[in-house]
């Protein structure tokens, strides 16, 4: 009974589950690199605000390409016309616009909250790696709520059952 409910739930929300999986995997990779980078940067410079900003850019350099790659692999069947087998550039363009829209809003909120928390924690003498971890998890929570709401609003997965 539980297995059947679990499969039904998964099938209904598969696209959102995969979407969040991609965000979490890419975000985790970015966090790991960010932890090491912020610690290294703190040894080179005592400017906490600059540390927060540069760490954010380093994390984006890891996060965005990984997410894009994972998202494409999970959704590539949506971008092929089943009858002809050719790429459907209209679907690709449409999804890119929707993703750009929801990520723009979500990433602004993420960036502000991440940098603010990271900076404030470093100001009160947290270790740089601790500030990065706490700042990232706080910002991720806010980000996930906003991006999932945005995906629903722009109907990113309009062809799904959800």
Render pLDDT for 116-157 as a digit per residue (tens, 0 to 9): 999 999 999 999 989 989 999 999 999 999 999 999 999 998
Partners of 73 in the beta sheet?
none
Q: What is the pLDDT of residue 38?
A: 92
Round to whole Å and give the CA distance between 157 and 154: 9
Whether residue 4 has pLDDT greater than 90 = no
Q: Which two tokens stand for residue 10?
A: 């998964």
Contact by Cβ (8 Å): 150, 102: yes
Render pLDDT for 75-115 as a digit per residue (tens, 0 to 9): 888 888 888 888 888 888 999 999 999 999 999 999 999 99
Q: What is the pLDDT of residue 85?
A: 84
Q: Which residues contact 122 (CB under 8 A, 6 or more apart)?
A: 42, 48, 51, 52, 128, 131
DSSP for 75-132, written as a single string: HGGGGB-TTT--B-HHHHHHHHHHHHHHHHHHHHHHHHHHHHHHHHHHHTT--HHHHH
Render pLDDT for 21-50 as a digit per residue (tens, 0 to 9): 999 999 999 999 999 999 999 999 999 999
Q: What is the pLDDT of residue 159?
A: 56
Q: Which of 55, 128, 60, 64 is nearest to 96 (CA)?
A: 64
Q: What is the pLDDT of residue 161?
A: 41
Q: What is the DSSP letter of 45?
A: -
Whether residue 63 has pLDDT greater than 50 = yes
Region 53-70: what's the mean pLDDT? 95
């Amino acid at each position: 009974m539980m297995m059947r409910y679990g499969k039904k739930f998964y099938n209904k929300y598969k696209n959102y589950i995969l979407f969040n999986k991609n965000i979490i995997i890419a975000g985790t990779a970015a966090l790991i690199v960010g932890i090491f980078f912020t610690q290294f940067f703190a040894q080179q410079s005592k400017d906490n605000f600059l540390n927060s900003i540069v760490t954010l850019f380093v994390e984006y350099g890891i996060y965005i390409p990984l997410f894009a790659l994972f998202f494409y692999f999970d959704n590539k069947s949506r971008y092929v016309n089943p009858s002809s087998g050719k790429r459907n550039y209209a679907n690709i363009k449409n999804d890119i616009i929707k993703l750009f829209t929801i990520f723009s809003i979500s990433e602004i909120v993420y960036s502000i909250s991440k940098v603010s928390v990271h900076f404030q924690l470093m100001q009160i003498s947290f270790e740089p790696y601790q500030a990065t971890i706490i700042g990232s998890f706080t910002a991720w929570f806010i980000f996930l709520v906003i991006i999932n709401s945005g995906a629903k609003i722009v109907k990113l997965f309009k062809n799904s059952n959800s």
